[in-house]
Amino acid sequence: MKDWQQDLEKNIAGIIISETDIKKKVEELGRQITAHYASLNADQLIVIGILRGSVVFLSDLIRELKMPISIDFMAVSSYEDKTQSSGTLRIIKDVSEPIAQKHVLVIEDIIDTGITLRCLKDMLWARNPRSLSLCSLLDKPARRQTKIEVDFRGFEVPDEFLVGYGLDYAGRYRHLPYVAILNPETYANE
């Protein structure tokens, strides 16, 4: 085993959502989202992935949507390589196309405090979309600091620092096919 694989394994305290369970949940969310937008007679959906964490989830989810879609991305940050949100939202990359009078679905990897998504949803609503929904693979309600409505939710997760399936710590672990708890010793000296 290579050194980086050993380091990775010692930094994982435990897998909490398996690759198989994620796949099943993504298929279920795809069916729910497709049915929802069919009920709105939506002829097209703009899917906005929040970079970088949502990329893995978004890539799998869009293949489960049975309707015309276009994809755009936003990059926002409130973590700055830390394990807790700073509470300040920075827009690093905005959407490329106007969203006025269009159906919009925002894809996020995890909702933690809710502060980032609350600010983001308010900003997007100001652009007059026809509808605006939020889909998050993971929800950590124990850390919520503001009310945020999640239209499509994957898993509720414990108040632990999680990595894998798009979630990272300092840019690492996003590639893991499962969601795991990061060993607290990995980031204890922050």
Paired with 90 in beta bridges are 77
Decide if 55 is inside a domain: yes
CA distance 159 to 153: 17
Q: Which domain holds residue 153?
A: 19-158
pTM beyond cutoff 0.95: no
Catalytic residue numbers read: 112
**What integer pLDDT is reported at residue 93 of this predicted model?**
94
**What integer pLDDT is reported at residue 1 of this predicted model?**
47
Paired with 105 in beta bridges are 47, 133
Decide if 128 is inside a domain: yes
**What integer pLDDT is reported at residue 4 of this predicted model?**
56
Per-10-residue mean pLDDT of the chain, 190 residues long, equals 62 94 98 96 94 95 97 81 58 93 97 89 94 97 91 96 93 93 74
Decide if 148 is inside a domain: yes
CA distance 84 to 40: 37
Q: What is the CATH number of the domain that holds 67?
A: 3.40.50.2020
**What integer pLDDT is reported at residue 5 of this predicted model?**
59
Decide if 98 is inside a domain: yes
- Give the total number of structural domains in the chain: 1
Look at the alpha carbons of 166, 168, 108, 94 in this order and tell me if their dihedral is positive or negative: negative
Decide if 11 is inside a domain: no
Look at the alpha carbons of 75, 77, 79, 81 in this order and tell me if their dihedral is positive or negative: positive
Decide if 169 is inside a domain: no
Decide if 1 is inside a domain: no
Decide if 6 is inside a domain: no
